[in-house]
Chain A
Amino acid sequence: MTAAYELNNIKVSHNNVCILNIAELRIASGKCIALLGENGAGKSTLMNLLAFTAKANQGTISLFDQVIVNKLKPKQRRRIAMVSQQPYLLSGSVRDNIGLALKLQGIARAQHDSLIEKTLQQLNLSHLADQAAQTLSGGELKRVAIARAIVYDPDILLLDEPFSHLDQRHIKQLEGAIQSFANKANKTVIFSTHDHPQGLAIADETLNLHAGKITAAPLLNLFHGSLDQHDFDTGKLVIHANSDLNDANHIAIDPQEIIISHKALDSSMRNCFKGRIVLIAQETNTIRLTIDCGEAFQAIISPESLKHLDLAIADTVWLSFKSTAVTVF
């Protein structure tokens, strides 16, 4: 499969502080990819690099196997669309804003009306076509920004935190819009989010970004501390990890590898902690438990397990996981 992007030795610094450091990254085309990470992990910086609206201090980025040295050529620019975290609409109507994208992309004027109408219908925005852009609600504004981005049929759609500050109804509408674009042939969608389940729900793949670095860790149950002889000390708990990386100071534990029980298990699992359930949240086909053991752990179980274990908030439970479930980085 061809690569939409290939990043090599990318470094971005701000005031001599490195905020993004990616040795190598290949993003295949035709996929819907969630870029996950906490606030400040470098997601927006990476999105801006991928949109070529910002430059790295070091390294190279290839777009569809072509190294981009300086600026994008108009044909290359037309293959990418970006919707920022807080999209900016220019003064004028919704139609004017979508039309501007077509004008700037140099698309023949005769096609403008039909393309605008088609996109407005696709995103269920036809009733807002002549409304002033400045009077739109947050959810409407994001959908208009997506309409403006996809009206010229780009190959790559980049969305920076598209679901932030939106209610469930608007999130559902946006998810539908993103998925309908992603389902088209050879379309690549990359969206950033700090909400891990959101990313898993609609993405084919996830990319985890932590402190400016791409990591294979799932970024849930993320703890900071120091590793000494396989023991990782968070300051509150000591977690056994199967790693020899002595300079590592982060660990992450896959929430699906955590086993919940009412009593301490007699097993080979090296990590076993007692805690209280502080949150039970239902997600798509799964249940997420938050358990306070001194550190807050998150575990993902099935609705059947929840029923079988008869768990409720404030219950005391034991959680166990193998040292191989701990990713050290």
Chain B
Amino acid sequence: MTYFIDSLIAALELITSFDHSIYRIVATSVSISLIASVIAVILAVPAGVLMALNTFIGKNSIQHLLNTLMAMPTVVIGLLLYGLFSRLGPLGHWGLLYTPTAVIIAEAILIFPIMMNLTITAVNSADPRLKPTLISLGANQFNLAWNVIKTMRLAILAAAVTGFGRAIGEVGAAMMLGGNIEGFTRTMTTAIALETSKGEFELGLALGLLLLIIAFVLNFILSWLHRPKQ
């Protein structure tokens, strides 16, 4: 017990002393997750809105595929991308392996189905009169999608925040594709795994606490977005 309490005190000291190495890892983690989230939002939100607003052959199959991808283990995504980006892989000449770009791509792929699925749910939960109203007022496909996004912006923002939360807590793909290189691709989760295995428990604990704080802030934002209307 003393070991745990001593480590916790040391971790808090590291956090409050604004240890450069810790905050560099946090910055790397946040920036990689943020860029991955922005890319995923740009792709998943329009795709989700268009899918929710239209009926077409194969829609149910795509929905099943999205549900499956949401449950896909991150190491599998890491493994597939490793195969593509490694020197012998088809995209090996791009030199992306062990770079932040590879981690960003992996995390964007990981959170794309989550964001798209939550966007579909958000649009489906809109007032059923919204779509016929916009169509009867003369909305084309673009106007329709844009006004639905505007109307359901809070629910769609919640989808983006959920995706970011998933990305920042990801470890498998970040480890396999980033290589955990200090100051370059070392994220909070990969650093926790490494430092703990090295016996640097307090450093791992400090990063874990910061990750918890980020998760808490994200959940606070989500609760605020889903607050009941006055």
Please list the residues of chain A having a beta carbon within 8 angstroms of any beta carbon in chain B: 48, 51-54, 74, 77-78, 80-82, 84, 86-88, 90-91, 100-101, 104-106, 148, 152
Contact = CB atoms under 8 A, between A and B. Distances in A.
B86 to A, nearest CB: 48
Interface in B115-161: 127, 129-130, 132-140, 143, 147, 151
B138 A84 contact: no
A84 B133 contact: yes
B133 A104 contact: no
Given A88-B127, A88-B129, A88-B130, A53 B135 contact: yes
A69 to B, nearest CB: 17
Contacts of A86: 129
A82 B135 CA distance: 10
Nearest 7 Cβ contacts at the A-B interface: A88-B129, A82-B136, A53-B132, A104-B138, A105-B138, A88-B133, A104-B137
B132 A101 contact: no
24 contacts: A48-B132, A51-B132, A51-B136, A52-B135, A53-B132, A53-B135, A53-B136, A77-B138, A78-B138, A80-B136, A82-B132, A84-B132, A87-B129, A88-B133, A90-B133, A90-B151, A91-B151, A100-B137, A101-B138, A104-B138, A104-B139, A104-B143, A105-B137, A152-B138
A51 B135 CA distance: 9
Contacts of B136: 51, 53, 80-82, 84
Most buried by A among B130, B133, B134: B133
Chain A interface main SS type: loop
Most buried by B among A86, A88, A105: A88
Nearest to A107: B138
B138 A106 contact: yes
A100 B134 CA distance: 9
Given A90-B151, A104-B134, 13 more contacts: A48-B132, A51-B136, A54-B132, A74-B140, A80-B136, A81-B136, A84-B132, A87-B129, A88-B127, A91-B151, A100-B137, A100-B147, A101-B138
Interface of B: 127, 129-130, 132-140, 143, 147, 151
Contacts of A53: 132, 135-136
B225 to A, nearest CB: 15
Most buried by A among B132, B137, B140: B137
Contacts of B143: 104
Most buried by A among B134, B135, B147: B135
A6 B129 CA distance: 26
Nearest to B135: A53
B129 A84 contact: yes
B142 to A, nearest CB: 11
A279 B150 CA distance: 51
A258 B127 CA distance: 47
A112 to B, nearest CB: 14
A82 B133 CA distance: 8
Nearest to B132: A53
Contacts of A148: 137
A80 to B, nearest CB: 7
A87 B127 CA distance: 11
A80 B137 CA distance: 9
A84 B133 CA distance: 8
Contacts of B130: 88, 90
Contacts of A87: 129, 133
A265 to B, nearest CB: 53
B18 to A, nearest CB: 43
A152 B138 CA distance: 10
A78 B134 CA distance: 13
A104 B136 CA distance: 10
Contact of B137 (A54, A91, A101): A101
Contacts of B151: 90-91
B227 to A, nearest CB: 16
Contacts of A54: 132
A307 to B, nearest CB: 48
A86 B140 CA distance: 23
Nearest to B143: A104
Contacts of A82: 132, 136
B3 to A, nearest CB: 55
